[in-house]
Amino acid sequence: MRDYLVAVQVQRLFSFFASRIRLLIKHRSTVDIFASALIRMGAGFLFWIVATQTHSASDVGIATAVISAASLVVAISTFGFEYGLLRFFDQFKNIPRRLIESTVSFVLVSTFVFSFVFVIGMPLWAKGLQSSFYSPVMGLVFIILALVTSLHLLFHRIYIAVSRTEFTLLQSTIAGSVRFIPLFLIPVAFHGSLTLSWIIGIGTSVFIGLVFIIPRFMGNRFIRFRIEKDVIGTIGAFSFKSGVGSFLNSATALIVPLLVVNILGTEQNAYFYMSWALANILVNIPVSSAWTVLAEGSRQVAIKQGVFRRELKLSILILVPLIIIVFLWGDKILSIFGSEYSFYGYDVLKLLAISSLPMTFNYLYLSTLAIDMKMKEVITFNAVITSISLVGSYALLPLIGLNGVGLSWLTAHCLVLIYILIRKYSRQISTS
């Protein structure tokens, strides 16, 4: 009897995983986006493993802060046009060239302006980087980093919009692998060697997309620089509101490294960033799912709840085993960078890993609100998450160190999740 029960349980377990594998295969676009995110995060993780073995913790801390700052500039300067690409692509599907060219041109101009302003004002808002990164050459490096990062982001969204998600996978693979080549060729003595390696990796993927991939969707023509007012007017309002929500959503991850550098120093930022890089593998799962919900739900609004439930199940299916791995072997994984990375970063890594669960529901829910054009609610929710995270981090960093960031991040997402569930439950009661 006991053997029979064991056999039944094994069969049920096999059936469970078989059904999930069939579900993954059925939804190829989701798999591509997930795989792209995992490759991007995995390659970044390996890059920093090598970097920590060849560069000092201070150099790593500076590079990670600069990359985060460039991403912060891009989050502001895109004005949410990556959302507009997805939301309105079907309206321009017969003339995608106009939408793509106007969006890319506008974002390039705004990114250049904002990155230039950041470089000029670096002594004001990034004083921890001033001594090592404040020079004309390094300023130019920063501007180039911001420009290629913005194009990398837009191309990723274009591939999703045209339902050619396999190119997101290719883009992440190229960017993740090429950056290792200059890492071994550029002298370690050059303070910007890590940043320059990062630029070359992303820049190569952007160049290939610009020359060989994007023209496929534009009648085999290259992108021209032009900004059409009617295109910007059509997608502008939605994009800007989405951009505010997106900025608030990503502000914590992008601003915290600058807070850590200014409050705890560049070495502590290196320890934090490695934990964040590892946690980002988990974080990008709900983020990728949210993009899938927005893309598929925008094409067919009636199926958004079905897509929401599907992506929620898939995300949790992937996240739970990864969280278990973090708790069992996270300290050993961090020790690959060095014993000090494990000592200072393991606890905050666990907090960030747990946060991915409430984050999944929150991000997917916000995507459904964006589909319904309820952008005020999207902005409000993101503002609450960001405010709690940043204020909490600023207050707790001097008291409990890096754990203050993880605790603030987890608290913010849990509070928002509780509010959303209460509101949904209350509405169900009122309508029944």
pLDDT in tens, the chain (432 residues): 544 444 444 444 444 444 444 444 455 666 777 788 778 877 888 898 899 888 888 888 888 888 988 999 999 999 888 888 877 877 777 777 888 889 999 999 999 999 999 888 877 766 666 666 667 888 888 999 999 999 999 998 888 888 788 888 899 999 999 999 888 888 765 667 899 999 999 999 999 999 999 888 877 788 889 888 888 888 888 888 878 877 887 788 888 988 898 888 888 988 998 898 889 888 888 887 887 787 777 666 556 677 788 888 888 998 999 999 999 999 999 998 888 999 999 999 999 999 999 999 998 888 888 887 787 888 888 899 999 999 999 999 999 999 999 999 999 999 999 999 998 777 777 666
What do you get for the CA distance between the two ends of the chain, in Å?
A: 47
Q: Whole-model pTM? A: 0.74
Per-residue pLDDT, 432: 60
* Residue 1 lies inside a defined structural domain of this protein: no
Per-residue pLDDT, 273: 86
CA nearest to 223, candidates 207, 247, 236: 207
Per-residue pLDDT, 10: 42
* Residue 4 lies inside a defined structural domain of this protein: no
Which residue in this structure is represented by tokens 């995507």? 367
CA nearest to 125, candidates 257, 275, 248, 245: 257
Cβ atoms < 10 Å from Cβ of 386: 20
Domain that holds residue 84: 27-431
Over its C-alpha atoms, the chain yields an Rg (Å, rounded) of 22
* Residue 198 lies inside a defined structural domain of this protein: yes
* Residue 171 lies inside a defined structural domain of this protein: yes
Report the sign of the C-alpha dihedral through residues 57, 58, 63, 68, in that order.
Answer: positive
CA distance linking residue 157 with residue 111, whole number of Å: 17
Angle formed by the axes of helices 339-371 and 266-299, nearest 10°: 30
CA distance linking residue 385 with residue 412, whole number of Å: 5
Report the sign of the C-alpha dihedral through residues 366, 31, 107, 251, in that order.
Answer: positive
Angle formed by the axes of helices 375-400 and 339-371, nearest 10°: 160
CA distance linking residue 235 with residue 430, whole number of Å: 35
CA nearest to 274, candidates 343, 206, 198, 186: 343
Per-residue pLDDT, 14: 45
* Residue 179 lies inside a defined structural domain of this protein: yes
Query: Cα dist. 224→68, 105, 227, 424 in Å?
Result: 29, 8, 9, 46
Per-residue pLDDT, 305: 75
Cβ atoms < 10 Å from Cβ of 411: 17
* Residue 19 lies inside a defined structural domain of this protein: no
Per-residue pLDDT, 129: 67
* Residue 16 lies inside a defined structural domain of this protein: no
How many domains, the chain?
A: 1
* Residue 238 lies inside a defined structural domain of this protein: yes
Burial degree of 20 (CB within 10 A; 0-12, 13-18, 19+): middle
